[in-house]
Amino acid sequence: MDNTKDKKSASASYSAESIKVLEGLEGIRHRPAMYIGSTSKQGLHHLVYEVVDNAVDEAMGGYCDNIEVTLSSDGSVTVIDNGRGIPVDIHPVYKRPAVEIAITKLHAGGKFDKKSYVVSGGLHGVGISVVAALSKHLKVIIRRNGKIYQQEYKIGKPTYDLKVIGKTEEKDTGTEITFLPDETIFSTIKFEFSILETRFREIAFLNKGVKITLKDEEGKKKETFHYEGGLEEFVKWVNKSKEALHKPIYFTKTDKGVVVEIAVQYNSSYQENVLGFVNTINTVEGGTHVIGFRTALTRAINDYANKNSLIKNGNLSGDDVREGLTAIISVKVPEPQFEGQTKTKLGNSEIKGIVESISYSALVEFFEENPNIARRIVTKGLEAQKAREAAKKAKEIVRRKSAFSVSGLPGKLADCSKKKAEETELYIVEGDSAGGSAKQARSKDFQAVLPLKGKILNVEKANPIKVLSSEEITNLITAIGTGVGEQFDLTKLRYSKIIIMTDADVDGAHIMTLLLTFFFRFMKQLIENGNIYIAVAPLYRIRKKKYHYVFSDEELKKMMEKLGGEIAVQRFKGLGEMDSEQLWETTMNHKTRLLRKVTIEDAAIADEIFSKLMGEDVEARRQFIAERAHEAEIDI
């Protein structure tokens, strides 16, 4: 990273006057989810992101190239950067040190002063103030102007005035923030190394040359993320468990103050994996930057194919050219407009044209200079075109079957009497035996049951034509009602909850993984919309005066100690072993059952895991299982 900017002159321009205040802190503790998304695990980790994003903003401005994050054994988190240091001079309006205003006033920060940050991830200016308000204790140490300053806060309020605690060299600048989340706000205050690791890896890939170190004192773990290759390394990392077809295509250009940086690499799979970022924020719902790139890609490939007489049956569609595509699209936008409070979709209309123009020119130039790669990409698209035509016929059969009339539904489906999707749920059950028990156990008015015959096709390895010709998968698509691919329509969803219910053993886990792979690759929107669940079945039943059901070996041990004396313990090897009453009581009664909602916390990680677990690379799968075996509960 070019970190040659004069910090001293930059510090002078980044001062108390740069801190603009929009409103006070009232309400954060009453409605924390409005500011950090939730008070669960995701919201807790969002606190770290808010503090780290401030350091990243300094990095994007060229003032910082080193960020250290430490998870302390006392539950606190410390974030240290070598940026300019938060301003400490007296604010002209509020007559208090600028750092105190930034921490105690909502919507206060340098993000609203265009001279301080040209582009920024934390545009709402709520970051550090929200962290302070939701923390029992927060301490800030600033190295700036040759001095070391310190101030501490309790639930967002200063416990003493900003004070000088030492001296340092004029060039030694930066900010250190330590905070301890308030356990009365969050459902958990235990940070997970792997969640933070994923985000920091992304940030390091997106900010070439920036070094981020993550340490866990209690777990004695340490990871450093530092990528001089930037997006080229990122796209190779995403594709590492797949067979890449060529070297990465990389280009970057600035137009009208917008920095566009893109890396592209095709692999031999059938899936598209496009990751979009705006000012390092992962826009999981895409937006105008992604639309612009996709449009340019389709046009550039078709233009090359036509120019070289490679196309016979009409232009390739967008779906054709994106089969097997992995792309990272990173844009730096001075004033991004995000749709939705969680910043997951870029809305700026002008960005589409900018990204499309830059991408088209760069791709055309690359194809001309690398004809072998260009022809390989066109061939991949032509194969997809043939497969799409064949798959279209299979989808037509599925679509025709998907009528809401009973006659159009699979014969094995025991449907429910209610028809409103928001009031109904579908249990996908392994085997006829468990299916029979589930049909007897269910509440017929709102619970439907679809038994599956054996293990469904592994869609990670199979051609889409083969997938859509599978009877079990066709039954599944028909029962759900939305269709797949370009015909997918969420408004036609027949059940608000789709619940996978399998045995608590290795075979059950395999079937569950096959189903999740299908949903991830063919109906990803259902996962993103929160419609897919996993039913947690009990492993044991203990009889002492009354029946007790337990869901793990650890829970069994605790329950045995609690109950004391001799006990009759029954181990459930499969759902089919339970009678309908037991199945209802443990797994299907909506008042007492345990369900796990399936989420996609990070699309790149999810894609990698499915590729490793279900793909062709046996060695990658073996290594993944060896590394993660301690995290799983496997019954052999």
Provide the β-strand partners of residue 180: 137
Residue with tokens 């006392």: 74
Please count the CA atoms within 13 angstroms of the CA of 234 that sit on its side-chain side: 32
What Cα–Cα distance (Å) separates residue 188 from each residue in 32, 264, 292?
Answer: 14, 39, 40
Coil/strand/helix, residue 127? helix
With the C-alpha atoms ordered 565, 570, 571, 572, is the resulting torsion angle positive or negative? negative
Count the neighbouring beta carbons within 10 Å of the beta carbon of residue 22: 13
Residue with tokens 């997809």: 384
What type of residue is 542?
Answer: I
CA dist 205 and 224 (Å) reads: 12
Q: Which of 237, 308, 279 is nearest to 611 (CA)?
A: 237
How many whole angstroms from its chain centre is CA 19? Answer: 32
Coil/strand/helix, residue 264? strand
* Helices and strands of the chain, counted as H and E runs: 20, 26
Name the token pair of 167: 């001296």
CA torsion 16-17-19-21 (nearest 10°) is 120
Catalytic residue among 503, 585, 602, 607: 503
Catalytic residue among 197, 383, 505, 617: 505
Name the token pair of 28: 């954060």
Please count the CA atoms within 13 angstroms of the CA of 428 that sit on its side-chain side: 30
Count the neighbouring beta carbons within 10 Å of the beta carbon of residue 623: 13
CA dist 152 and 14 (Å) reads: 22
Q: Mark whether 6 is an active-site residue.
A: no
CA dist 467 and 451 (Å) reads: 18
Q: Mark whether 505 is an active-site residue.
A: yes
CA dist 284 and 164 (Å) reads: 43
Query: Cβ distance 193 to 216 under 8 Å?
Result: yes
Catalytic residue among 89, 113, 507, 616: 507
Backbone angles phi, psi at 60, to 5 degrees: -65, -25
Catalytic residue among 232, 415, 430, 472: 430
Query: Cβ distance 427 to 436 under 8 Å?
Result: no
Query: Cβ distance 283 to 289 under 8 Å?
Result: yes
Coil/strand/helix, residue 219? coil
Coil/strand/helix, residue 288? helix
Positions marked catalytic: 430, 503, 505, 507
